[in-house]
Structure 1
């Protein structure tokens, strides 16, 4: 019985850690005014019929604070990479010179910054919902154990532990979102 309880708590903690990790990955994709190769992480290129991550078919580098360069390992991949970037809807127009593709990141306007802050807050809210769902599942598991014979005091303590873990992770999400918001709003 105690082993099952420990398993539920460990599983909840692990799942919450994964939710925070996912949030961190999503926040790196939101650009904050300077060139960052990670904004291209979700882009897949048609590589001989198979969708392949952009960084697997080309070298992505930061040329300067506002420019990314993409140099494909095969010249015939220039067009598919260009099409994939346009289709990804990240708001950047690729400049193809026949050898490399350049992405110029325009300076962010106040309006665009606010859009990015809204997106960051949306990602944060999704992470909070995920954390709350994990909490709900863990508490349901604890209640099932209580029906199977777990003492009421132990169940209440376990539920308090889950709530404490939830609160800690919600605060962590807020800190990540605030830090990204400051980064975006800095001129």
Structure 2
């Protein structure tokens, strides 16, 4: 196969991989009823005058499926962390026991589960769009090359097969997340 064609295919695969990894990161942030330290990944704490991610000023653990514990490295930060968690609009009500902050993750209602599934589907659709855009870009690049008709059509078939593979991967990731969200 032509070197330029294989370079375009590799670049396309890389781009599609980027769409998959973005989807996985987005789906991790959608909570599925189980407590996870990632749920607090967006919380910023005022630390010596500058906003700092919570994970950089404390130890975040999940002792069980419904609890998140946040143990700051400096006890003076307890109040700041508690305020930051309440102000982050995550719907958590942190409890401060003087040593650490304990967050009880409430179980999801059926209505909320359905909303989260819709959100997951939306993220999956965005990933599919990025994969299709990568396919479109690859086909444009292939048409710019001065290669034979046969080589061009074979390369376009390869790009389509790549696209189909990645779309199936998105669907399987989504179905796993959907099952995780809907599991009571």
TM exceeding 0.5 = yes
Answer with 77-86 or 133-142: which moved more. 77-86
Matched, 1:173 2:163: no
Cα 1:129–1:83 change in 2 (3 A) is: farther
Q: Could you say which residue in structure 2 is the equivalent of 1:152? A: 149
Q: Could you say which residue in structure 2 is the equivalent of 1:68? A: 68
Deviation (angstroms), 1:103: 1.4
User: Of 146, 163, 179, which aligns to 1:182?
Assistant: 179
Distance in 1, Cα, partners of 2:66 & 2:162: 40
Q: Could you say which residue in structure 2 is the equivalent of 1:136? A: 136
Residue 90 of structure 2 aligns to a residue whose secondary structure is: coil
Alignment deviations for residues 37-83 of structure 1 (CA, whole Å, 9 cap, x no partner): 12222333333344433212110001222110011112232233333
Residue 159 of structure 2 aligns to a residue whose secondary structure is: helix
Q: Could you say which residue in structure 1 is the equivalent of 2:16? A: 16
Deviation (angstroms), 1:101: 1.4
Distance in 2, Cα, partners of 1:179 & 1:134: 24
Distance in 2, Cα, partners of 1:156 & 1:110: 49
Cα 1:135–1:110 change in 2 (3 A) is: same
Deviation (angstroms), 1:158: 1.1
Coordinate RMSD, CA, aligned: 1.8
Residue 150 of structure 1 aligns to a residue whose secondary structure is: coil
Alignment of structure 1 residues 59-98 onto 2, 5 Å: 59-98=59-98
Q: Could you say which residue in structure 2 is the equivalent of 1:163? A: 160
Q: Could you say which residue in structure 1 is the equivalent of 2:115? A: 115
Distance in 2, Cα, partners of 1:45 & 1:120: 28
Q: Could you say which residue in structure 2 is the equivalent of 1:38? A: 38
Q: Could you say which residue in structure 2 is the equivalent of 1:28? A: 28
**Aligned length, in residue pairs:** 184
* TM-score using structure 2 length: 0.91
Distance in 1, Cα, partners of 2:172 & 2:111: 23
Distance in 2, Cα, partners of 1:49 & 1:160: 56
Distance in 1, Cα, partners of 2:45 & 2:129: 32
Deviation (angstroms), 1:135: 1.1
Q: Unaligned stretches of 5+ in structure 2?
A: none
Cα 1:65–1:16 change in 2 (3 A) is: same
* TM-score using structure 1 length: 0.90
